[in-house]
Structure 1
Amino acid sequence: MSTERSASRTVDIQHLIDDSPISRFQFLIIVLCFIIVAVDGFDTAAAAFIAPAIRAEWQLTPATLGPMFGAGLFGLMLGALVIGPFADRLGRKPLLVFSVFFFGLASLGAAFSHSITELTWWRFVTGLGLGAAMPSAITLTSEYCPQRKRSFLVTVMFCGFTLGSAMGGLLAAQLVAEHGWRSVLLVGGAVPLLVALALWALLPESIRFLVLKDPRSVKAARYLSRIAPAVDLAGAVFIGPQKAKGLPVTQLFSRALVGGTLLLWLTFFMSLLVYYLLTNWLPTFINSSGASIQQAALVTMLLQLGGTLGGVMLGLFMDRMNPHTLLGGAYVGGGVCVTLIGASAGVPGLLPLAVFGAGFCIAGSQIGINALAAAYYPTASRASGVSWANGIGRSGSVVGSMLGGLLLSFNWGFETIFAIAAAPALVAGLAIFLKGRLQGGRAPEAAPVPQEA
Structure 2
Amino acid sequence: MERTIDISKAIDQSKVGAFQTGIFILCGLCLIMDGFDVQAMGYVAPALIRDWKITNVFLTPAFTAALSGILVGSLLCSMVADKLGRRPVLVFTTLAFSLLTLLTAQANSIGQLVALRFLAGVALGGIMPNAMTLVGEYTPSRLRVLMMIIVSNGFNLGAVIGGLVSVSLIPAFGWRAIFYVGGAIPLLIALLMIFFLPESLQFLAVRAKSPDKIAKWLKRVDRTVQTDTTTQYVVQEQKTRGVPLMRLFGEGRAVGTLLLWTLNFMNLLNLYFLASWLPTVFRDAGYSLSNALYVGTTLQLGGTIGTFVLAWLIGRLGFIPVLTTSFAIASVSIAFIGQPMLSIASLFAIVFGAGLTVVGGQGAVNALAGTYYPTDLRSTGIGSGLGVGRVGSIVGPTMAGILMGNGWAARELFYAATVPAVISVIVVFSLQWVIKPQRSIVSKTEALAH
Structure 2 length-normalised TM: 0.94
C-alpha deviation, 1:381, in angstroms: 1.2
* Cα RMSD (Å): 1.8
AA aligned opposite 2:422: L
User: Are 1:151 and 1:316, in contact at CA under 8 Å, matched by a contact in 2?
Assistant: no
Q: Secondary structure of 1:233's match?
A: coil
AA aligned opposite 2:358: I
User: Are 1:149 and 1:319, in contact at CA under 8 Å, matched by a contact in 2?
Assistant: no
Give the one of 163, 167, 178 matched to 2:172.
178
Which segment drifts farther, 426-435 or 132-141? Answer: 426-435
AA aligned opposite 1:292: S
Q: What do the CA deviations read for 1:312-365 (whole angstroms, capped 9, x no partner)?
A: 121233233321221122111111111121126333511111111111111111
C-alpha deviation, 1:445, in angstroms: 8.4
C-alpha deviation, 1:383, in angstroms: 1.1
How many residues are matched?
Answer: 440
Q: Give 1:43-54 correspondences, 5 Å limit.
A: 43-54=37-48
User: Are 1:377 and 1:445, in contact at CA under 8 Å, matched by a contact in 2?
Assistant: no
Percent of residue pairs identical: 37
Q: What do the CA deviations read for 1:197-238 (whole angstroms, capped 9, x no partner)?
A: 111111000011111111782211221211111232334322
Q: Structure 1: how far apart are the matches of 2:209 and 2:121?
A: 36
AA aligned opposite 1:158: S
Give the one of 227, 230, 236 matched to 2:231.
236
Equivalent residue, structure 2, for 1:59:
53
Task: Say if 1:87 and 1:224 are closer, same or farther in 2 by CA, change over 3 A.
Answer: same
Equivalent residue, structure 2, for 1:213:
207
Equivalent residue, structure 2, for 1:155:
149
Equivalent residue, structure 1, for 2:85:
91
1:327 equivalent to 2:317? Answer: no
Give the one of 339, 343, 356 matched to 1:343.
339
Q: Give 1:4-403 correspondences, 5 Å limit.
A: 9-214=3-208, 217-234=211-228, 235-240=230-235, 241-343=237-339, 345-403=341-399
Q: Secondary structure of 1:231's match?
A: coil
Equivalent residue, structure 1, for 2:433:
437
AA aligned opposite 1:366: Q
Q: What do the CA deviations read for 1:7-26 (whole angstroms, capped 9, x no partner)?
A: x9222222222222111111
Which segment drifts farther, 276-285 or 170-179? Answer: 170-179
User: Are 1:341 and 1:350, in contact at CA under 8 Å, matched by a contact in 2?
Assistant: no
Q: Secondary structure of 1:438's match?
A: coil
C-alpha deviation, 1:96, in angstroms: 0.2
C-alpha deviation, 1:122, in angstroms: 0.9
Q: Structure 1: how far apart are the matches of 2:141 and 2:314?
A: 12
Q: What do the CA deviations read for 1:183-208 (whole angstroms, capped 9, x no partner)?
A: 11111111111111111111000011
1:417 equivalent to 2:431? Answer: no
Q: Structure 1: how far apart are the matches of 2:27 and 2:242?
A: 29
Equivalent residue, structure 1, for 2:448:
none
User: Are 1:344 and 1:351, in contact at CA under 8 Å, matched by a contact in 2?
Assistant: no
Q: Structure 1: how far apart are the matches of 2:48 and 2:149?
A: 33
C-alpha deviation, 1:128, in angstroms: 0.5
AA aligned opposite 2:5: V
C-alpha deviation, 1:442, in angstroms: 4.3
Q: What do the CA deviations read for 1:67-120 (whole angstroms, capped 9, x no partner)?
A: 110111101101111222100011000000001111111111111011112111
Which segment drifts farther, 333-342 or 211-220? Answer: 211-220
Q: Structure 1: how far apart are the matches of 2:396 and 2:440?
A: 29
Which segment drifts farther, 12-21 or 163-172? Answer: 12-21
User: Are 1:215 and 1:239, in contact at CA under 8 Å, matched by a contact in 2?
Assistant: no
Q: Secondary structure of 2:155's match?
A: helix
Structure 1 length-normalised TM: 0.94
Q: Structure 1: how far apart are the matches of 2:71 and 2:227?
A: 41
Q: Structure 1: how far apart are the matches of 2:304 and 2:254?
A: 30
Task: Say if 1:428 and 1:106 are closer, same or farther in 2 by CA, change over 3 A.
Answer: same
User: Are 2:256 and 2:434, in contact at CA under 8 Å, matched by a contact in 1?
Assistant: yes
Give the gaps of 5 or more residues in structure 1. Answer: 1-5, 447-453
Q: Structure 2: how far apart are the matches of 1:20 and 1:320?
A: 23
